[in-house]
């Protein structure tokens, strides 16, 4: 080990270095704070022994200077004036340990052994931090990049409002169909908030029984239910100071709802089987694909909890209502997956593109991502064809018209004009561009312009 001894007494410098060198360590000495700081600037020493009284200098001040420059430096304070107060002060200020003068070789050895262990732990911590960083970037690079811009006005407004509110402590409620990206958005709100360096903890409400869910949320005491073999802390505790994300909140059992309300209102909770009120400071983000207002009307969700959660609320539109974003997402996913699979796929053929825009995407972004991943594996050519996509190639007409049941019905008492006009209007509503609409209708762009004019749709 490389050791620096800082003491104004020559006899201490000499005896300590002889003792340490005899144990095989490399030792240097310094007689005052300035020369010690200078040597530490030039060289790395794993351990510093520092006298509490360096002539007129205060050893603790010198230690603070050292720690300011290298916060992880191990410093052991030598003191001839041992008292609990100085020892406590030294450790509070960051000393690794202290050693009372006069000391025996065994005491010196004990300090060295302790320092070696601490250094080993430091190395281990750094290694773990590096591993966490690597894994984080691996996870990030193993998934397609996330996209939060939108061509769709409604989506853009919803997301902008939400991200503007990210920095406030207000609760957030994210509504939307399955696969629209609610969990991804919840994480993004956390990452854009002042809590980004604090924990982000997810609880999936439907995945557990009522009792287990309560325990997972709030923790429990040993013996509070069958199988509770030891005391545990829940996710509310784990998320303290950060964000607690409650996924599928619409499934939260009625019995737990008052406890969540108390957490939101009073910032208080109790562990299962414990009679002690605990405080928690968490920001709640909740998501559901259910119509929560309808759940309130049906009395399966408490109205007071709904209003508490509903401070900032957004509804993420389904993909079929974000046609403008569809091709962009599809292209992003395709370039990610083709790169991941080492394939050169240039994009979508016209038929592939048509198949994409005609499908209603009931599984939203999740379905699109999976479809593109599969297509990137199976595509035979350099472009994705309609048959490479795991979706009905024929237009899913009912879905793409949004299930419009008020318009004319094929075979009913309607003129051809009525039918043509309605069909034209619906296709124009969802097709990303006029070019796409013309292609779907099987007419050229000029004919489409003329028809729009004729039906007064300009
Ligand atoms: N903003 C986005 N950019 C790119 N891909 C996205 C985005 N949002 C979601 N996705 C894709 O869709 C998948 C599903 O997203 P997520 O799990 O957040 O949906 P959800 O609405 O929470 O679904 P559920 O209600 O079923 O839990 C993600 O794994 C990701 O691949």
Tokens matching residue 234: 């829940």
Adjacent-strand bridge partners of 78 = 51, 99
- Say if residue 305 is exposed, middle or buried (CB neighbours under 10 Å; 0-12, 13-18, 19+): buried
CA of 230 to the centre of ligand 1 (A): 36
Residues 391, 307: Cα–Cα separation, whole Å: 40
Residues 362 and 423 in one domain: no
Are 169 and 98 part of one and the same domain? Answer: no
Which helix (H) or strand (E) segment is 76 a member of?
strand 74-79
DSSP, res 223? T
Q: Which residue puts its alpha carbon closest to atom 27 of ligand 1? A: 178
Q: Number of structural domains, the chain?
A: 4
Flag whether 196 is in a domain: yes
pLDDT single digits (tens) 321-370: 888 899 999 999 999 999 998 999 999 999 899 889 888 898 999 999 99
Q: Are residues 266 and 293 in the same domain?
A: yes
Is residue 139 one of the residues assigned to a domain? no
Residue 428 forms part of a structural domain: yes
Tokens of 350: 């016209």
- One domain for residues 359 and 303: no
Judgement on whether residues 173 and 271 belong to the same structural domain of the protein = yes
Helix (H, G, I), strand (E, B) or coil at 224: coil
Query: Are 240 and 181 in the same domain?
Result: yes
Same domain, 112 and 255: no
Give 363 Cα–ligand 1 centroid separation in angstroms.
Answer: 10
* H or E element that contains 336: helix 323-340
- Taking the centre of ligand 1 as the mean of its atom positions, its distance from the CA of residue 165, in whole angstroms, is 21
Report residues of the chain scoring pLDDT below 70: 81-82, 207, 392-413, 430
In a domain, 229, yes or no: yes
Cα separation, 268 vs 261, whole angstroms:
9
Q: Which residue has the tokens 């035979």?
A: 380
- Ligand 1 lined by 455 (C-beta under 6 Å): no
Are both 299 and 379 inside the same structural domain? no
277 CA to centre of ligand 1 in angstroms: 37
Nearest-atom number in ligand 1 for the CA of 148 is 1
Strand pairing category for 283-288 and 172-176: parallel
* Position 128 in a domain: no
Q: Is 189 in the same domain as 327?
A: no
Decide: 33 and 75 in contact? Cβ < 8 Å: no
Residues 163 and 302 in one domain: yes
The parent domain of residue 66 ranges over: 2-118
Separation of 182 CA from ligand 1 center, angstroms?
A: 6
Contacts 24+ apart (CB under 8 A), 387-396: 388/352, 389/352, 389/355, 389/356, 389/359, 391/355, 391/356, 391/359, 392/359, 393/351, 393/355, 394/358, 395/358, 395/440, 396/358, 396/359, 396/360
Domain CATH code at residue 394? 1.10.8.60
Q: Answer yes or no: is the C-beta of 317 below 6 A from any ligand 1 atom.
A: no
Residue 433 has a pLDDT of 78
Domain assignment present for 127: no
258 and 302 Cβ atoms separated by less than 8 Å? yes
Residue 289 near ligand 1, beta carbon < 6 Å: yes
User: Is 287 part of a structural domain of the chain?
Assistant: yes
Tokens of residue 295, six digits? 């759940």
Is residue 123 in some structural domain? no
Residues 309 and 234 grouped into a single domain: yes
Q: What is the CA radius of gyration of the chain?
A: 33
Q: What is the pLDDT of residues 163-221, one digit of tens each?
A: 999 989 999 999 999 999 999 999 999 999 999 989 999 998 876 778 889 999 999 99
The owner of tokens 């998934």 is: 143
Q: Which atom from ligand 1 is nearest to the alpha carbon of 146?
A: 3
């Amino acid at each position: 080990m490389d050791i620096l001894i800082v003491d104004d007494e020559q006899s201490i410098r000499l005896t300590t270095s002889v003792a340490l060198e005899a144990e095989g360590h490399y030792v240097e000495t310094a007689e005052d704070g300035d020369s010690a700081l200078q040597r530490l600037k030039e060289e790395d020493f794993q351990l510093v022994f520092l006298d509490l009284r360096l002539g007129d200098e205060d050893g603790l001040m010198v230690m603070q200077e050292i720690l300011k420059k290298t916060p992880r430096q191990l410093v052991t304070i030598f003191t001839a004036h041992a008292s609990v107060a100085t020892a406590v002060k030294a450790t509070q200020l960051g000393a690794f340990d202290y050693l009372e003068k006069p000391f025996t070789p065994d005491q010196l050895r004990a300090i060295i052994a302790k320092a070696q262990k601490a250094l080993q732990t430091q190395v281990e911590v750094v290694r773990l931090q590096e591993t966490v960083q690597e894994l984080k970037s691996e996870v990030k690079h193993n998934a397609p990049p996330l996209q939060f811009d939108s061509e769709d006005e409604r989506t853009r407004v919803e997301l902008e409002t939400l991200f503007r509110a990210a920095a406030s402590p207000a609760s957030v409620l994210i509504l939307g169909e399955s696969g629209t990206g609610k969990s991804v958005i919840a994480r993004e709100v956390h990452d854009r908030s002042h809590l980004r360096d604090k924990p982000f903890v997810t609880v999936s409400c439907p995945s557990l029984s009522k009792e287990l869910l309560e325990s997972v949320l709030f923790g429990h005491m040993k013996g509070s239910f069958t199988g509770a073999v030891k005391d545990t802390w829940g996710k509310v505790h784990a998320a303290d100071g950060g964000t607690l994300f409650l996924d599928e909140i619409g499934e939260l059992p009625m019995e737990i709802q008052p406890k969540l309300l108390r957490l939101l209102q009073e910032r208080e909770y109790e562990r299962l089987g414990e009679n002690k009120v605990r405080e928690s400071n968490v920001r709640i983000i909740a998501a559901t694909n259910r119509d929560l207002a309808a759940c309130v009307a049906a009395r399966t969700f408490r109205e007071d909890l709904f209003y508490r959660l509903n401070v900032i609320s957004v509804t993420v539109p389904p993909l079929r209502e974000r046609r403008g974003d569809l091709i962009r997402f599809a292209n992003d996913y395709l370039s990610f997956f083709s790169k991941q699979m080492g394939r050169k796929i240039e994009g979508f053929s016209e038929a592939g593109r048509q198949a994409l825009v005609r499908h209603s995407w009931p599984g939203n972004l999740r379905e699109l991502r999976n479809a593109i991943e599969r297509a990137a594996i199976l595509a035979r050519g350099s472009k994705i064809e309609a048959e490479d996509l795991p979706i009905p190639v024929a237009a899913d007409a009912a879905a793409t018209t949004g299930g419009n049941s008020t318009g004319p019905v094929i075979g009913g008492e309607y003129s051809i004009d009525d039918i043509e006009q309605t069909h034209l209007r619906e296709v124009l509503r969802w097709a990303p561009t006029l070019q796409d609409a013309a292609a779907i209708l099987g007419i050229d762009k000029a004919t489409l312009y003329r028809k729009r004019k004729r039906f007064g749709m300009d």
